[in-house]
Amino acid sequence: MLKRSNGRRSVKYVEDFLIDVAQLMAGGYTLSDSVVILSQESRYGHVPALLKESLADGLPFSEAMERIPAIIDPVISMYIRSAEETGNLTHAMQEVSTRILAGRKWDQMVSEVLFYPRLVLITVTLILDAFWLFFLPFIESFLHSMGMEAVFWTELVSLSKSFMWTLPFINIGSVWVAFSDALVSMLVPRSVKVLSKDVWLFSSLESMLQAGLPMGSAILTLSHISTSIKGEQQTLMRLYERLKSGERLSMAMSMEEGRWDSTVISRVAIAEKNGVLNQALNSITLQLEHRRQMAMAHYVQALKSFSVLMAGLAVFGITYSVYKPMVQMLLDLSGI
């Protein structure tokens, strides 16, 4: 067996491979032919070789995917497995490609949350480093060379020197903020996180239904998936138990007080009555995704404005700390 590697690069290899497999299958190639064609390229890492080896052993594509050591969206693996059972793999791969691309677009939008705060923080940190490490010693040396006592050495400068030991911690903190993905997820607004829950649920249900699973089995399958969405698995299990007892999805959802608004529940109920639940789930997903992107865009714009304000205050503070003592020194020398 080829050596396995983990991390983001492995996930990107797998996702890029699945997207290109979907494109080839849409063009009329079989799954095995697509794997053979893509195995001639090196930009997928070990993914094609691992899949060829597993497919040669007689494993289905979904099980072959599980042998690849990369943590991808578990809904994708289950969606592919369900599509294999229903003989609808070509359409399923198109949905997988769409899901991956949508996820990447959202991840890029989330990564922009800290772009302006990071830019301001790094700039201010560099200015502080230059101020403490170069400007203050230069001024002190210059004044002594001129035969002046510490007229310039105001309380602010003395305070700055006394806090020189904090500079390494400030730099370390700035680096952590600049490169920490955990901080990005912490700063995502609660309203956006709630919308993300619903987008994940309804898009996953739509994928499962398109793959041929009944609603109860789709919800049960999703409840077994380990997600980072707190409490979602318990909610799905309660929905499944209610469906199992004969309740309709809309009724089961309405019993989760405060979880979904009445508009969403009404749309699901009408869709169930008209037999167009799959289309309704797609429409709900698109609407929620639009709301989520708009909420994130407004939040990023607010952070941008706040960052510009903080940058202005930082520049003003540093400029004031530099020029006030110099002006005071000139006034003292002139006897004013």
**In this predicted structure, what is the pLDDT of residue 302?**
85
**In this predicted structure, what is the pLDDT of residue 10?**
78
Residues 250-259: contacts with CB under 8 Å, at least 24 apart: 259/235
CB 161 within 8 A of CB 136: yes
The token pair at 293 is 């992107």
- Would 22 be classed as within a structural domain? yes
- Would 65 be classed as within a structural domain? yes
The neighbour count for residue 231, using CB atoms within 10 Å, is 10
The neighbour count for residue 41, using CB atoms within 10 Å, is 11
164 and 270 housed in the same domain: yes
Length, in residues, of the chain:
336
Residue among 62, 68, 94, 58 nearest 81 (CA): 62
Among residues 81, 109, 137, the one where a domain terminates is: 109
77 and 160 housed in the same domain: no
| pTM of the full structure | 0.68
At 190-249, the pLDDT tens digits run 888 888 888 888 888 887 787 777 888 888 878 877 555 556 788 888 888 998 888 888
**Domain span holding position 117:** 110-336
The neighbour count for residue 74, using CB atoms within 10 Å, is 15
Among residues 70, 91, 109, the one where a domain terminates is: 109
pLDDT at position 1 over 50? no
CB 45 within 8 A of CB 31: no
Counted domains in the chain: 2
**In this predicted structure, what is the pLDDT of residue 228?**
54
The token pair at 137 is 């010693």
Q: Alpha-carbon distance 55 to 32, whole Å?
A: 8
Provide the mean pLDDT of the chain. Answer: 78
pLDDT band at 5 (very low <50, low <70, confident <90, very high): very low
At 62-90, the pLDDT tens digits run 888 877 776 667 777 777 887 787 777 88
